[in-house]
Amino acid sequence: MDIPRGKPILICAQQRAYGLYLNSLVRQLGVETQLVRGQDLDRDLLERTGPLLTVVEAPRDEIPAVFRSRRRETPGVLLVAECEDGAAGRIEKRADCTVFFKPIHPEKFTRCVWELLSNRVDTGSVRPLCEPYLIGNSPAMEEVRRTIAKISATDLTVLIGGETGTGKGLVALAIHNNSPRRSGPFLEVNCANIPSSLLESELFGYKKGAFTGAWGDKPGKFDLADSGTLFLDEISEMVQAMQAKLLQVLQDGEYSPIGSVENKTANVRIISATNAALEQLVEQGRFRNDLYYRLKVITLHLPPLRARKEDIGPLREHFLEKYALLYDKKPHALSKDFCSMLEEHDWPGNVRELENVIKSVVALGSESLALEGLQRTRIGGPAREKEEDPALEFRRSIRHRSLREISQQVAERAERKAIEEALAHTQGNKKAAARLLQVSYKGLLGKIKAYGL
């Protein structure tokens, strides 16, 4: 977009946190912004800055007069609190401005700003980096957005690293949505959630008669993602045999469905993600060195939330808006004590944990339960213990048991997991699941009953 330098989008909000949230959304369009307080918005400021667009948050009955008297050629976006039944999320296009009734849809808001800008400047063929869930104004998030903008235009493999809950899947989607492949599909495969015995057919598909129960051809994700992007999450969980097959696809650009004698062309971009240190797994011989270097042509690391606490405010506002819309409730005003607790928390679960906290507050209309959970975590109570040691429950369950009993328990857990995955793979078809697991139909029914599935 050919935007004149020094011509910002002026953002005026009642609360700084909400202003930062709006600022984060608008900055993803690659434009300059200027955030001001409500009392600082006056005619002199408008004349001095000459903004391309003015975004103002205000109560409906307290719309600043200066907003109405701005230059006619300067478009405006007005955000007002819900004031009537059914108004939440509604958009009104008026002669002098576009009105959003809070809570807003972030995608619609960002798209509206982009369209208003398009009427003022030449956007050419450039698309905005419009992924409203990549919220944050911190230097770390600005760098992430810049990196996404650079690598989206390429077709190279990308390896995304970061702790659980940092948003690796959202970044992968942002890369796809801003790439030449954006008109193609974006498919995700979580390598940790699919048993190794099923992963090959999930990725490459199979031909009729390839194995017992293969009554027809089944396309794999490489086939379904043709001309698009395939996102391989938890890539570190992929077993060595599948690593070799994936490496062959990356080397030759071809793959073969199970039971087929013909190769198919793989026209997909591979983006992978992990929360593990792949370098260490390579050194330990648990991950192929050659595949590792094929996957990490471009690397992108997402910082944990505790390393960018200045983004907690905008993220908080985003989730408040999101779940107010989802549950059809008025935006919840959080107390100062609760906001302070959010700022001080370490967030071991990162953005996902913050989202769940805000979700519970909006759904229940109360901060008490969420506040209690955060306080327990701060003092090292049960919440932190569970977060830091996911194997604690298992260790307790095997205490004072014989090796035979432990082996039986582990086998039962693995068996139950395999049955669940097989049923999911066959969309609940028990006979097909039995064939896939190579057990009798009657035997599978007995297991399903025993495990309460």
The reply to whether 396-451 shares the fold of 139-301 is no
d(CA 210, CA 88): 53
Half-sphere exposure of 82 (CA within 13 A, CB side): 18
For the record, the structure tokens of 142 come out as: 């600005």
Q: Which residue type, as a one-letter code, is found at position 355? A: E
CB 36 within 8 A of CB 22: no
For the record, the structure tokens of 276 come out as: 């593990």
d(CA 248, CA 130): 34
Report the alpha-carbon angle 406-410-413, nearest 5. 140
CB 247 within 8 A of CB 290: yes
Q: Which CATH architecture has domain 396-451?
A: Orthogonal Bundle (1.10)
pLDDT in tens, the chain (453 residues): 455 555 788 888 888 888 888 888 888 777 788 888 766 777 777 777 778 788 888 776 666 666 665 665 567 787 776 655 556 667 877 777 788 888 888 888 888 888 887 776 554 434 444 454 588 889 999 899 889 988 998 999 999 999 999 999 999 999 998 899 988 999 999 998 888 878 999 999 888 887 777 788 888 999 999 999 999 999 999 999 999 999 999 999 999 989 888 889 999 999 999 999 999 999 999 999 999 999 999 999 999 999 999 999 999 988 998 888 778 777 678 898 899 999 999 999 999 999 999 999 988 888 888 877 777 666 554 444 344 444 545 554 554 456 666 677 777 778 888 888 777 777 678 888 888 888 888 888 888 877 777
For residue 254, give the 3-state DSSP assignment: strand
Query: Could you tell me if residue 68 is left (phi over 0), alpha (psi between -120 and 50 degrees) or otherwise beta?
Result: alpha
Identify the pLDDT of residue 165: 92
Q: Which CATH architecture has domain 139-301?
A: 3-Layer(aba) Sandwich (3.40)
Half-sphere exposure of 411 (CA within 13 A, CB side): 7
Q: How far is CA 275 from CA 147, 160, 220, 320, in A?
A: 19, 9, 25, 27
Q: Which residues contact 79 (CB under 8 A, 6 or more apart)?
A: 22, 55, 56, 57, 58, 99, 100, 102, 104
Identify the pLDDT of residue 306: 93
Q: Which residues contact 146 (CB under 8 A, 6 or more apart)?
A: none
Q: Which residues contact 102 (CB under 8 A, 6 or more apart)?
A: 57, 79, 80, 81, 82, 88, 321, 331
d(CA 25, CA 57): 14
Identify the pLDDT of residue 315: 92
- The domain limits of the chain are 9-118, 139-301, 309-388, 396-451
* CA neighbor of 321 nearest in space, from 39, 12, 29, 57: 57
Identify the pLDDT of residue 287: 94
Domain 309-388, CATH:
1.10.8.60
d(CA 13, CA 275): 37
* CA neighbor of 53 nearest in space, from 4, 92, 87, 16: 4
CB 228 within 8 A of CB 176: yes
Q: DSSP letter at 183?
A: T
For residue 330, give the 3-state DSSP assignment: coil
Q: Which residues contact 128 (CB under 8 A, 6 or more apart)?
A: 1, 28, 29, 30, 110, 114
Q: DSSP letter at 386?
A: H
* CA neighbor of 87 nearest in space, from 102, 106, 108: 102
Q: Which residue type, as a one-letter code, is found at position 293? A: Y
* CA neighbor of 131 nearest in space, from 156, 110, 100: 110
Q: Are strands 254-255 and 205-206 parallel, antiparallel or unpaired?
A: unpaired
Q: DSSP letter at 285?
A: T
Q: What's 9-118's CATH class?
A: alpha beta
Other Cβ atoms less than 10 A from the Cβ of 260: the count is 15
Q: Are strands 186-190 and 229-233 parallel, antiparallel or unpaired?
A: parallel
